[in-house]
Chains A and B, each alone.
Chain A
């Protein structure tokens, strides 16, 4: 049993290592383009909503905490607490996605979604618009991929809650809670880097 648990954790980490490189490629693209067009990227970064972004960072870290609490509850055999903390994690995850939807809507209203109707500011010239679109393509690509991971995570949480209501998770067997927990923390870490890089760096 101990060996099974170890290999499950190991496998999950190998999967996460591939995910690190998946997101790493995007971060690399962002860094190179930001270095190439520093001024316009600074302007675009400032147009993002710092309060909503910061709020979401706190929400997501809190959800990581509740997830860790749920894993702990499973390990010490408190079945009701497992369900409670899983539900809290799901709730916080949904809050994050809701706030993200509000931010995306604001960008839509401002014509900041790359495409035919893109206009960074009224009367921006062609080059400014082209480079600003590069920033927003990366912004939507990176946060969109992150949000997709959140949606997958939320689906997994629903399943975990269903199983935990049946009382399946015990100190002897809690691998699903632990591994989905690892996934959830990974998605949190991605946001920990996305937030300063997209929202914070040019705020002085």
Chain B
């Protein structure tokens, strides 16, 4: 649980450094690690039933569908010049 606090510290320090293009990924990876820890241990997903775990995974899966399909759509619009 204390690890979660440490990653906050790591996040603020690391991202002030210069990582061209990479710091979005670094920020999101750290955020995902923190979120996973919270879900597994604070929210007891690690100890819960298979059915509950299925719902959790399904929730994240729908989110992934929404994000990837929409972003894929935007990324594949050659006529849309910004």
Contacts and interface: CB of A to CB of B under 8 A. Distances in A.
Name, among A17, A50, A188, A201, the residue most crowded by chain B CB atoms within 10 Å (CB to CB): A17
Given A182-B43, A192-B34, A13 B52 contact: yes
A85 to B, nearest CB: 13
B38 A28 contact: no
B8 A58 contact: yes
B1 A68 contact: yes
A138 interface: no
A193 B67 contact: no
Given A17-B58, A20-B59, A196-B27, A189 B39 contact: yes
Contact of A201 (B18, B23, B56): B23
Contacts of A124: none
Nearest to A69: B1
A14 interface: yes
Interface stretch (A59-67, A102-110, A142-150, A161-169): A59-67
Interface residues of A, number: 45
Interface stretch (A29-37, A90-98, A115-123): A29-37
> At the interface, is chain B mostly helix, strand, loop or mixed?
helix
Contacts of A10: 49, 51-52, 55
Nearest to A17: B59
B16 interface: yes
> At the interface, is chain A mostly helix, strand, loop or mixed?
helix
B59 A204 contact: no
A193 B12 contact: no
B38 A9 contact: no
Given A65-B1, A185-B43, A196-B30, A21 B8 contact: no
Interface in A67-101: 67-68, 71
Interface in B25-82: 27-28, 30-31, 34-35, 38-39, 41-44, 48-49, 51-52, 55-56, 58-60, 62-63, 66-67, 70-71, 74, 82
Interface of B: 1, 4-5, 8, 11-12, 15-20, 23-24, 27-28, 30-31, 34-35, 38-39, 41-44, 48-49, 51-52, 55-56, 58-60, 62-63, 66-67, 70-71, 74, 82
19 contacts: A6-B51, A9-B48, A10-B52, A10-B55, A13-B55, A24-B63, A57-B8, A62-B5, A178-B44, A181-B42, A181-B43, A182-B43, A185-B39, A193-B35, A196-B11, A196-B15, A200-B15, A201-B23, A204-B15
The 7 A-B pairs with the shortest beta carbon distances in the complex, nearest first, are: A17-B59, A196-B27, A68-B42, A13-B55, A24-B63, A189-B35, A20-B59
